[in-house]
Amino acid sequence: MDPNLLYWKDHGQSVFSRLRIWVNLLDPVFLRASDEEIQKAHDLLKDGTSLKDADENALNLSLSSVHADSGKPLPLLFRPPAFMPLSLPLVAGSVLPIPRVSIALSWQFLLQSYSVGFNHANRNLSSEQCRKVSLKQLLILTGTVSYATWAGALPQIFINRLGVGSASALIFFRSIFPVPLSAALAVFSVYGVRGEEAETGIMVFDSSGSPVGLSKAAGQKAVKETALSRAALMGTATAVPNLLGLLLRRIKSFQRNPFKLVLLPYLSALLVMGLMIPTSFSLFPQLGTIRKEDVEEKLNAGVLDGLLYYHRGL
């Protein structure tokens, strides 16, 4: 088992402990490290350095920048510390009232493309088939981005194409409909990118860290947990600014100042995303557990403990 996963096994089994760790790991300063520095930090742990005795900076650098299945540095733009500074403006831009469909599509394309790229870079790679990017996988990725882009712009498409003019209909399409839509698209993106893990299975480990075999049940559980965490992130990040905008429209001082009416929901989107990113990453363990009775019978025959472990991905 990779040393990153061993660390999560010992320190990441409660939500609060994971939240504390993720707050540190999401520091953008880790993006300044080169691939050589990252690999050196990871190799230091891999060569037998005790996680208790390891340098804190090297440990955090490995946890924040190395894929726990391949043991190699993640692409710079798709490392967890890059997720916040890159996704914040994309999400904030996508939740603002947009007068034109073309602008809405542009924001959605940027947001959905980055979401798909991040999900793909941080997927589970324990299966040899999942490591290879086939033509089928490229088509799935392209289709996921295309479908999510058009679906994400549906509120503005409905408003423009259907000539929606009533106040209640505008409130529905601009403030209410985008909330479940954003959560649903986040789930769709994860399943579109990582559905292969459920088909081929992911590696499960026993309590000592020894690999047991590939489990489809564990793959399904890992993808489901990640999808739920993304739904919580995107749903909350969309709901709070939209609900705040509805409340502000009822206050006379904001009715007289449209600039405030736009600025505060935008700032609230940034604040909520900043709080929800580490929270959503912490909802489920990086090293998940599954009962041996729930995996394939051929895998639990020689397992003494009641639980098996798997890398959830991010």
List the beta strands (DSSP E) in the chain. 202-205, 211-215, 287-291, 307-311
- What are the domain boundaries of the chain? 3-311
Q: What percent of the chain has pLDDT over 70?
A: 88
pLDDT digits (tens, 9 = 90+) for 202-217: 998 888 888 888 889 9
Let me know: does 98 contact 178? Beta carbons within 8 Å: no
Entry field: residues in the chain = 314
pLDDT of 131 reads: 67
| Torsion of Cα atoms, 15 then 17 then 21 then 24, to 10° | 100
Instruction: State mean pLDDT over 255-276.
Output: 73
**Residue closest to 214 by CA, chosen among 136, 137, 125:** 125
The answer to whether the beta carbons of residues 23 and 278 sit under 8 Å apart is yes
Q: How confident is the model at residue 54 (pLDDT cuts 50, 70, 90)?
A: low
CA atoms 237, 240, 246, 250: torsion sign: negative
Transcribe 29-71 into DSSP letters: GGGGS-HHHHHHHHHHHHTT--TTTS-HHHHHHHHHHB-TTT-
Contacts of 190 by beta carbon, 8 Å cutoff, 6+ apart: 119, 223, 226, 227, 230
Alpha-carbon span 38 to 16, nearest angstrom: 26
> Which pLDDT score, from 0 to 100, does residue 232 have?
94
Question: How far is residue 173's CA from residue 165's CA, in Å, rounded to a whole number?
Answer: 11
Structure-token pair, residue 41 = 């930090």
Closest CA to 66 of 112, 102, 30: 30
Report d(CA 133, CA 278) in Å as an integer. Answer: 29
Q: Is the pLDDT of residue 38 over 80?
A: yes
- What digits encode the pLDDT tens for the residues 58-116? 888 989 999 988 889 999 999 999 999 999 888 887 877 677 888 889 999 999 999 99
Residue found under tokens 């999900």: 119
pLDDT at 185 over 60: yes
Mean local confidence (pLDDT), 269-276: 85
pLDDT for residue 271: 84
* 285-297-188 Cα angle (round to 5): 45
Q: Are strands 287-291 and 211-215 parallel, antiparallel or unpaired?
A: unpaired
**What pLDDT, on the 0 to 100 scale, is given for residue 255?**
56
Residue 263 reports pLDDT greater than 80: no
- CA–CA gap between residue 10 and residue 226 (Å, rounded): 21
48: Cα within 13 Å, side-chain hemisphere? 0
Q: Name the pLDDT band for 134 (thresholds 50, 70, 90).
A: confident
